[in-house]
A and B are shown apart, each in its own frame.
Chain A
């Protein structure tokens, strides 16, 4: 068996220059330095639908939006106990992402599982942004190690701990894998196209269910048998 090749490893700022982003290739492994903030459905709703003012200066403070809720607590004295950090699946947030770029000036979207190349072309490419995916996705302890300090916790009361906006200082924070590039290509889609070629073989000797389900047919008058 051929030994698998380890990917290229790169350090990147959380406010990256366009040239640094242009350097990155799909499948590169990235470690981040700087400041990141968490933002998911709660933050997007507050900022984009309810029109709340952003509680920090974006993108000056950070151009890296992490789809994440950390395993963390705020102690009674106001300090933080932050353990592990793992992303949440990003495809659920596509409906907000265009407006979020306009409001936040983000250059890096960090999360789990990426979005579609159609979303990258529609929203990421015009804003000069790329998507970095977490790894595993269970590498929460490794990511936790890269956290130097919790700088602030915004909208704690309004959104609860999990949905609140955590602003975090990080160093050598990773690993992440480059999932989209400045042209809007998707690593997951590339890999999916490769695996799709083999899948039919695994299905040999299987049979479709005798009773179908809606979704397997879109004809709602179908009797499904």
Chain B
């Protein structure tokens, strides 16, 4: 049984880590981008960001004053048992969100869409989002918090099979150029692309591709992996860099996730995870052990399965 107070305490630590410590994979990716940037102003922006991450860690203050909208991804092992069950878990995550907002402090960003009511704690109707997934043969629970910033950089479009790769590239470039001007997307970003599913799953897949995969990670389908590389290069060839200044720093990495869709359609979503690509992960065991990391490892073989039944054994053989 995984105790509730362990869940809440761990969640509060995760909130702080996400807000303050830039994940190493993104930092390495940004440094690689900065090393080849030759635009004067774009280069200055990247250097300032690299100093900013250091300042945040030294002072233990949030890296960006817009601390985004904290949300939770919960992955439960099939054998995991939680004290208080899922309802207890949700209360613990809501408490952790409110406490951490006050203690770090975070900006109380969450308001009612019409009445603009602000509880000053990032908790409200349908906030924070809590999403779930499950994993076979495991008895742990994994908590991932993502503090996604940015009102800009996301779009959805219903494309059709006849739009093809050329249509995908067009919508991708349109999104980057539209939101890259004046740096509204706070690029260079991790770009997540959802393809297929239905409108809602397409948005979810694209967002998770941006927020739950690390820089350098590739889709296991080699042709999709090649498309990820190609789109990354394409984004960096626009001639636009950080803040929309002349340069080539738009995309730190590009991730694509797919879902089976209606035979007549090819839904596409684009998401930008900004210069503050904030995520933090912990795996909790029943004996109280907690392991922290920054890679959500969300897209396992089980999450991407395409068969009716799940046969762990045959999948292990495939990957061996």
Contact = CB atoms under 8 A, between A and B. Distances in A.
A175 interface: yes
A52 B177 CA distance: 40
Given A203-B173, A210-B163, A84 B38 contact: no
Nearest to A188: B182
Contacts of B163: 207, 209-210
A141 B67 contact: no
A138 interface: yes
Given A71-B105, A206-B173, A210-B163, A142 B52 contact: yes
B275 A138 contact: yes
Contacts of A209: 157, 159, 163, 167, 170-171
B63 interface: yes
A7 B48 CA distance: 12
A81 B105 CA distance: 7
A205 interface: yes
Interface string A200-221: 0111011111110100000000
Residue among A68, A70, A71, A89 with the highest chain B CB neighbour number at 10 A: A71
B109 interface: yes
Contacts of A1: 36, 38
Contact of A139 (B48, B116, B166, B170): B48
Interface string B75-105: 0000000000000000000000000001011
Contacts of A70: 65, 107
B55 interface: yes
B48 A71 contact: no
Given A138-B186, A140-B63, A198 B238 contact: yes
A4 B65 contact: no
Nearest to A3: B38
Interface string B110-151: 010000101010000000000000000000000000000101
Given A89-B151, A136-B275, A142-B52, A195 B244 contact: yes
A84 B245 CA distance: 24
Nearest to A82: B105
Contact of B239 (A83, A114, A198): A198
Contacts of B244: 188, 191-192, 195
Given A192-B181, A202-B239, A139 B52 contact: yes
Given A4-B37, A192-B244, A144 B59 contact: yes
A142 B45 contact: no
Nearest to A4: B43
B209 interface: no
Contact of B45 (A82, A136, A211): A136
Contacts of B51: 142
B275 A162 contact: no
B234 A202 contact: yes
Please tell me the size bucket of the interface on B. Answer: 35 or more
Contacts of A95: none
A145 interface: yes
| Candidate in B39, B105, B116 with the most chain A CB atoms within 10 angstroms | B105
Contacts of B170: 203, 206-209
Contacts of B24: none
Contacts of A135: 44-45, 48-49, 243
Interface in A93-109: none
Residue of B51, B64, B108, B163 ringed by the most chain A CB atoms within 10 A: B64
Contact of B61 (A84, A160, A210): A84
B229 interface: no
A161 interface: yes
B237 interface: yes
B56 interface: yes
B312 interface: no
Given A83-B105, A137-B243, A202-B234, A114 B169 contact: no
Contact of B41 (A27, A88, A137): A27
A65 interface: no
A72 interface: yes
Nearest to A70: B65
A211 B239 CA distance: 28
Interface string B252-276: 0000000000000000000000111
13 contacts: A4-B39, A73-B120, A84-B56, A136-B52, A138-B49, A138-B64, A138-B186, A161-B118, A175-B48, A195-B246, A198-B238, A205-B169, A211-B158
Given A27-B40, A144-B65, 9 more contacts: A27-B41, A89-B152, A133-B243, A139-B48, A140-B65, A161-B118, A162-B111, A188-B244, A199-B177
Closest 8 CB pairs of A and B: A86-B65, A140-B65, A198-B239, A4-B43, A141-B56, A206-B170, A207-B166, A84-B62
